[in-house]
Amino acid sequence: MTRRMAILLLALSFEIALLPFVGHTQYQRKTLIAHRGASAYAPEHTVDAYRLAMAQGADYVEQDLQITKDGVLVCLHDLTLERTTNVEDIYPDRFVTEGSQRHWYVADFTLAEIKRLDAGSWFSDKFKGAQVPTWQEAVDLVKGNAGLYPETKAPEVYGSRGFDMENLLVESLRKNNLDRPQSEEKAPLIIQSFSAASLKRLKSEFNVQVPLVLLVEEKDRDLLAPNRLQEIRKYATGIGPAKEIIDQNPPVVVYAHDAGLSVTPYTFRSASTGLFKRVRDEMEYFLAHLNVDAVFTDNPDQFPRN
C-alpha cells in the first residue's frame, strides 16, 4: 500500500466515525454481514461460526441454502459435501462420478445421514464433531441476536431434481414470522441469490416483502450498466457484486444508488486483501470512499465500525 493510500485511509477512518449514514435505506448504517459466519476463525456454516460472528458484532449472519434428499433446507455453501465434511469416510460408496472427479451431492443424502458427518475437522481438530446445521437451527440460533441473510443456492439445479427451493424457504419464513416487514425490528432478514429468476419468483409469485439482493459475479459485470440496474430494481432492492467490479468501476455505486439499489460487495477476507495491508483497511476504503452500504466478510472482528 502506498503512502498516499495510507494517508487516505487514515482520513477515511475519521469520516466513517463522524459522518451520518448516507447510503441505501435497506440498511440503517454501514452494515457487517458475516460471510458463512466468522469463517476465518471457525468452520464455515457451523454453529461455532455463527456464534462467533454474533460475538464479534455481526449485523447479519449469512446462510447458503442446500436441500437434502428428504426436502430439508440445510446451511452449506457447496452443492456437494466432500470439501467441508468427512462424507468420503462415512459413505465411501455413495459418490457420483463426473469426468475424473467424484462428488457426494447434498440432495443424495437425508438429513439424518448428513447429521452423521463431521463438518469441523477439515478446518481444525478443535471443531471435530461440528455438524451441518439446518436452516431452522440457524434461525433459532440467530433470530433475535442478529439478522439472517439466506441465499437460494442453485435453485435451478434443485428444480431439475424435483425440489422447489423458493417454496421451501417461504414456508419456513411464514412459519417463523419472517416474511413481512413488521418482523424487521426483532428479526431482520434479507434474501440473496445469483438467480434473478429466483428473486422474481419470491417477489411476484410468493409476495415476499423482505429485501431481495441480486448477487453479481465478475463475468456478469454488464448487469451493472445503468439501464440494467433499473431493470434489477423491478424485482430486487439491492445488488451484491464481487468487490473487484466495484474497485474497477467506482461509478457503479452511484448508478446503483440512483436506481434505488443498495450495494453489498463480497468477499472481504484477511487471506486476500489485494493492494491493502489489512482487511480492515480494504473494508474501510470501500465503505467510506466508494460508499458501499455493507460488506460480506470472513473477518467480522475487523469491520471498521468506528
The reported pLDDT for the residue numbered 25 is 58
185 — pLDDT class (breaks 50, 70, 90): low
183 — pLDDT class (breaks 50, 70, 90): low
Which SS3 state, helix, strand or coil, does residue 163 take?
coil
More confident residue, 179 or 148: 148
Residue 90, domain member (yes or no):
no
pLDDT in tens, 220-262: 999 999 999 999 999 999 999 999 998 766 699 999 999 999 9
The reported pLDDT for the residue numbered 184 is 57
Residue 287, domain member (yes or no):
yes
**CATH at residue 39:** 3.20.20.190
More confident residue, 19 or 113: 113
Residue 73, domain member (yes or no):
no
Q: Domain range spanning residue 284?
A: 3-64+143-302
Q: What is the mean pLDDT of residues 131-155?
A: 98
The reported pLDDT for the residue numbered 11 is 46
Give the Cα separation of 38 and 112 in Å (integer).
Answer: 26
Residue 103, domain member (yes or no):
no
Is the per-residue pLDDT at 42 higher than 50?
yes
- The set of catalytic residues is 35, 77
Nearest Cα residue to 153 out of 223, 105, 112: 105
Residue 291, domain member (yes or no):
yes
Residue whose C-alpha cell is 439424518: 112
Residue 42, domain member (yes or no):
yes
Q: Name the domain count of the chain.
A: 1
Average pLDDT, the chain: 91
Residue 91, domain member (yes or no):
no
Residue 259, domain member (yes or no):
yes
